Amino acid sequence: MLFGKTTHLVGLDIGSRTIKAGEITETKKGQSLKTFGMVDVSPGLIEDGNIRNPERVAETIKELFRSSNIKEKNVAISISGLSVIVKKINVQTMAEDRLQETISLEAEQYIPFDISDVNLDFQILGESEVNPNQMSVLLVAAKKETINGYMNLLSLAGLNPCVIDVDAFALQNIYELNYDSVEENVALIDIGASKTSLNILKENNSVFMRDVSLGCGQINQRIVSMINCTPEEAERIKINGDMNKISRESLNNIVSSVISDWCSEIRRAFDFFYSTYPDDHVEKIILSGGGGNIQEFRQLLAAETSAEVETINPFTALQIDTNRFEPSYLERVATQAAICLGLAVRRVDDK
């Protein structure tokens, strides 16, 4: 429609080492990939979810939009890490507008921050499993300082934030788009540069989430420590396997040590889940993020958790114009595109 209102959003995944942007539009044939692009971020500009140099990051985002030919200014972003708390709580059954008035009081006992320092949101999940007079609510609290940092960044980039999501929810969005509904328990795990997000789904409902400060950047840090190189050189060595400065055996030992730490942390998270749901087992793990591409990690994680492990392809359910998008490129970036495309399926008027 020529003068129709645009409701789609650009999914903008602002990571500490790469920024991804993409658009998904509705067509007669279904949902279609309109744009997708990604750009590297210089080390130190974004650390632990904090924007250290908003001016330079904003310029990086502008360049990504130009190179990807993205014209839309309405965006959906996501946050994660220690500045975000997601908890499933039970409260007395009440109307949503009534809960809106009292959510701050309900949240105080669950949030380890001063309530005045956070933005709160919630989603009513339905009747509590343990008390028919209560209802289950998914509570989300994010530090205002973090939110304001991202709002300032987007303003500098000339963009309009319409949705601020959580990484784990964005991952769930793209999973639901690409996979049939199943009754088995599934763990969605995103291994990024500096953090790992875990979301366990029970009958397609999120029942356990955890963010930990582990990621592919640990491999870079250990390379830097071993051969005294720059972070940029360490990244090239990790990706390209440059053996002039480090032996293949040393690099393999670093990777093995780091992924062993990842598996131990994920196993601990699973054990905590099993303590709450002792009759359940996670049958399948779906990986995203750069870490999902490490074959040794997938094999070790399968052995540690006794679960089937696979990597996500967020493009499966989308209509793809192969004249615009090289299939081999999309296959190569698939795991890194997951959160971005999970944000891109959001719409302007979403809650």
Give the per-residue pLDDT at 184: 86
Q: Tell me the pLDDT tens digit for each residue of 145-199.
A: 999 999 999 999 999 999 999 999 999 999 999 988 777 899 999 999 889 999 9
Q: How far is the CA of 157 from the CAs of 35, 125, 154, 260, 269, in angstroms?
A: 18, 36, 5, 39, 37
Q: Tell me the pLDDT tens digit for each residue of 130-145.
A: 888 999 999 999 999 9
pTM of the model: 0.91
Residue 6 has pLDDT above 70, yes or no: no
- Angle (CA) 77 83 84, round 5°: 65
- Name the pLDDT band for 328 (thresholds 50, 70, 90): very high
Tell me if 190 sits within 8 A of 171, measured CB to CB: yes
SS (H, E, C) 138-171: EEEEEEHHHHHHHHHHHHHCCCEEEEEEEHHHHH
Q: Tell me the pLDDT tens digit for each residue of 245-270.
A: 888 899 999 999 999 999 999 999 99
The residue extents of the domains of the chain are: 85-142
Residue-wise over 117-128: b if at least 16 C-beta within 10 A, else e?
Answer: ebebebeebeeb
Residue 338 has pLDDT above 60, yes or no: yes
Tokens representing residue 343 in the block: 């944000």
**Quick one: average pLDDT of 196-206?**
89
Q: In this structure, which amino acid lies at residue 45? A: L
Give the per-residue pLDDT at 4: 38
- Taking domain 85-142, whether its CATH number is 3.30.1490.300 is answered by yes
Q: Tell me the pLDDT tens digit for each residue of 280-317.
A: 999 999 999 999 999 999 999 999 999 999 999 999 99
Residue 215 has pLDDT above 60, yes or no: yes
